[in-house]
Chain A
Amino acid sequence: MPGIDVKKIARLSRLLIDNSEAEHFQREMENIIAMVERLPDTSDIVLRLNPEDKMELRADKTGPSLKRDELLKNAPQSEAGCFVVPKVVE
């Protein structure tokens, strides 16, 4: 089993794990990964899309959509019809 750097995985997932949590998350993740490692030999299986399994896409045309004001009602912070986030460009 590969070593797991739980802090690195947390960072990739945009999660903060403090030192007090790191230990139990580390142990749990190791146990879960040990479980999911049980997989059969699948070297003879070639994954390909099934041509019978067509996905039916809708026509690419404009139609009614949700109103901006209604969507912004759920935003933690909005102003002048935009979502507000902390400054990203100096």
Chain B
Amino acid sequence: MELYEYTAAELSAMFRAGECSAEEITRSALDRINTAEDKIQAFLTVTEENALETAKSADKKFSAGETLPPLAGIPIGIKDNICTNGILTTCASKILGNFIPPYDATVIKKIKTHYMPILGKMNLDEFAMGSSCENSYFKKTRNPYDTERVPGGSSGGCAAAVSAGEVPLALGSDTGGSIRQPASYCGNVGLKPTYGSVSRYGLVAFASSLDQIGVFAKTAEDAALLYSVICGKDEKDATSVRREYPDFAADISNFDCKKLRAGVPKEYFGPGIDGEVRDSVYKAIELLKENGAEIREISLPSTDYALSAYYIIACAEASSNLARFDGVKYGYRSEKFENLIDMYERSRSEGFGDEVKRRIMLGAFVLSSGYIDAYYNKAKATQALISREFASAFEQADLIITPTSPTTAFKLGEKTADPLQMYASDICTVTVNIAGLPGLNVPCGLDGKGLPIGMQFVGPHFSEEILLKAAHFYESLRGELPRALL
């Protein structure tokens, strides 16, 4: 078995036992990138020299007998909408095609203080707007389980790279499902944490009240290790929350399934959900039940309105957030223009792709005079309604189980012609962002075509510990899933 095939927890143990060096781990990942990247196209930038330098410094500290944090020497990929000092951060957009941030996002600072080598920047849908990674200006990432299919999105590069063994871990962002849906399509564990538990400082904003940085990993334990590194209050993000964050990995095996009350909302298993996906999630629920979990049917009646509320709120915020891209301070400026306004308009029109333009315009529309009450304010009220329904569901359940996405990975080009079809693939995930809750994808099987199916655990605010423990326990019941064959 090659080093790149191990989990982060296994690599960490091997590194500490002196069985392999951080440099060997990083070189194994870089070799894997060299062989797999032609087919997968997950990276926008590979930062080989930086990664090796960090790995060597972890090795030096280990040899000197210094105490190192658990993920020291374990390499990672970063979604290209998270600012990395001195390294291109493009958001997969022409408008930021040449942007080199002069500072690190808070999560990157944390990754660096843990001596984790950064292997590079991962592809995404432009500005994280999309569900297939096909909206990238630069390239189309492929699903390692079937390279004719999409990896999901928007963090498609992260999900595909973890699944292909190019990176053991990755950081992505999730505004309406952008971690969980690609994790589902590529067979990873993907955790979208509680809003406010991870600093957003240095994450290029899409919809600030919904965006959250989170993790991709091969296992729940690896996700717990990485989440423990990035969570916490940051004074540079006023929405980040000060509280005690435990070490999520230390106690992960300590879980009593007999004490688990799991809610199963009928609205998430309706006709829009593919039969194989439904059966697979039900089978996983049955397995938890056989092991003592109490399964309760619950109802979240406003689920049907979530997609509308989500697109209104997210696009309203995007139209404001993306006003900063004007060809003045950074990024692309059109070559020909007649005056200042003309320069703004040409730079933006040439720099943004069609999906980003649609969302900016939808946002401008729902906020415009005469429409704000009918759309934006009503969507905000619907958000309150959905949050309330979750709160009452959590009175009778410790966590809620749903499919992560209505289908498995679809073919490249299959949904690009109709934005609404693409939006529908977020139906099971957007509610979680609307209510600011943590959500986790754990793979629960393969469909008849050999494509991964994902199950979503949703918990109350700051319940990451129980989500990760339940997922870790479920993995032990499920056993190994077949890996992507490249």
Identify the A interface with B (CB < 8 A).
2, 4, 6, 9-10, 12-17, 25, 28-29, 31-33, 35-40, 42, 45, 47, 55-58, 66-67, 70-71, 73-77, 83, 85-88
Q: How far apart sit A38 and B307, CA to CA, in the bound complex (Å)?
A: 9
Asked if B364 and A9 sit within 8 Å, CB to CB, the answer is yes
Taking CB atoms, residues of chain A closer than 8 Å to B312 are 36
Asked if B340 and A88 sit within 8 Å, CB to CB, the answer is yes
Asked if B361 and A9 sit within 8 Å, CB to CB, the answer is yes
Known: A15-B349, A56-B241. 14 other contacts (CB 8 A): A9-B364, A9-B365, A10-B357, A12-B368, A14-B345, A47-B384, A58-B238, A74-B100, A75-B329, A76-B328, A76-B333, A85-B340, A86-B339, A86-B340
Q: How far apart sit A83 and B333, CA to CA, in the bound complex (Å)?
A: 12
| B208 interface contact, C-beta 8 A | no
Q: How far apart sit A57 and B377, CA to CA, in the bound complex (Å)?
A: 26
Taking CB atoms, residues of chain B closer than 8 Å to A45 are 381, 384-385
Asked if A74 and B361 sit within 8 Å, CB to CB, the answer is no
Chain A contact residues, majority secondary structure: loop
Asked if B348 and A35 sit within 8 Å, CB to CB, the answer is no
| B344 interface contact, C-beta 8 A | yes
List the B residue with the shortest CB-CB distance to A74.
B330
Smallest CB-CB A-B distances: 5 pairs: A42-B381, A76-B333, A74-B330, A70-B102, A58-B235
Within 8 Å by CB of B308, from A14, A16, A29, A36, lies A36
Identify the B interface with A (CB < 8 A).
98-100, 102-103, 233, 235-236, 238-239, 241-242, 302, 304-305, 307-309, 311-312, 319, 323, 326-333, 337-346, 348-349, 352, 357-358, 360-366, 368, 371, 375, 377-382, 384-385, 419-420, 423
Q: Indicate whether A38 sits within 8 Å of B308 (C-beta atoms), given known contacts A57-B238, A75-B329.
A: yes
Asked if B242 and A56 sit within 8 Å, CB to CB, the answer is yes
List the B residue with the shortest CB-CB distance to A38.
B308
List the A residue with the shortest CB-CB distance to B304.
A38
22 contacts between A and B (CB under 8 A): A4-B365, A10-B357, A14-B341, A14-B344, A15-B349, A16-B345, A28-B358, A29-B365, A32-B358, A35-B311, A35-B420, A36-B379, A37-B375, A39-B305, A42-B385, A45-B381, A47-B384, A56-B238, A56-B242, A58-B238, A87-B340, A88-B340
Asked if A25 and B345 sit within 8 Å, CB to CB, the answer is no
Asked if B362 and A33 sit within 8 Å, CB to CB, the answer is yes
Within 8 Å by CB of B377, from A47, A67, A76, lies A47
Q: How far is the CB of B215 from chain A (nearest CB, A)?
A: 24
Q: Indicate whether A15 sits within 8 Å of B238 (C-beta atoms), given known contacts A35-B307, A74-B329.
A: no
Q: Indicate whether A55 sits within 8 Å of B239 (C-beta atoms), given known contacts A35-B308, A45-B381, A77-B333.
A: yes
Q: How far is the CB of A11 from chain B (nearest CB, A)?
A: 8
Q: Indicate whether A42 sits within 8 Å of B382 (C-beta atoms), given known contacts A10-B361, A71-B102.
A: yes
Q: Which of B361, B382, B423: most chain A CB closer than 10 A?
A: B361
Taking CB atoms, residues of chain A closer than 8 Å to B328 are 75-76, 83, 85
Q: How far apart sit A62 and B242, CA to CA, in the bound complex (Å)?
A: 22
Asked if A83 and B419 sit within 8 Å, CB to CB, the answer is no
Within 8 Å by CB of A74, from B102, B238, B323, lies B102
Q: How far apart sit A36 and B363, CA to CA, in the bound complex (Å)?
A: 12
Q: How far is the CB of B416 from chain A (nearest CB, A)?
A: 12
Asked if B365 and A33 sit within 8 Å, CB to CB, the answer is yes
Q: How far apart sit A86 and B335, CA to CA, in the bound complex (Å)?
A: 12
Q: Which of B302, B312, B352, B362: most chain A CB closer than 10 A?
A: B362
Q: How far apart sit A9 and B293, CA to CA, in the bound complex (Å)?
A: 52
Q: Which of A71, A73, A74: most chain B CB closer than 10 A?
A: A74
List the A residue with the shortest CB-CB distance to B238.
A55
Taking CB atoms, residues of chain A closer than 8 Å to B419 are 28, 31-32
Asked if A2 and B371 sit within 8 Å, CB to CB, the answer is yes
Taking CB atoms, residues of chain B closer than 8 Å to A76 are 327-328, 330-333
Within 8 Å by CB of B311, from A15, A36, A77, lies A36
Asked if B326 and A35 sit within 8 Å, CB to CB, the answer is no
List the A residue with the shortest CB-CB distance to B361.
A9
Q: Indicate whether A35 sits within 8 Å of B361 (C-beta atoms), given known contacts A40-B382, A47-B380.
A: no
Taking CB atoms, residues of chain A closer than 8 Å to B357 are 10, 13, 15, 25
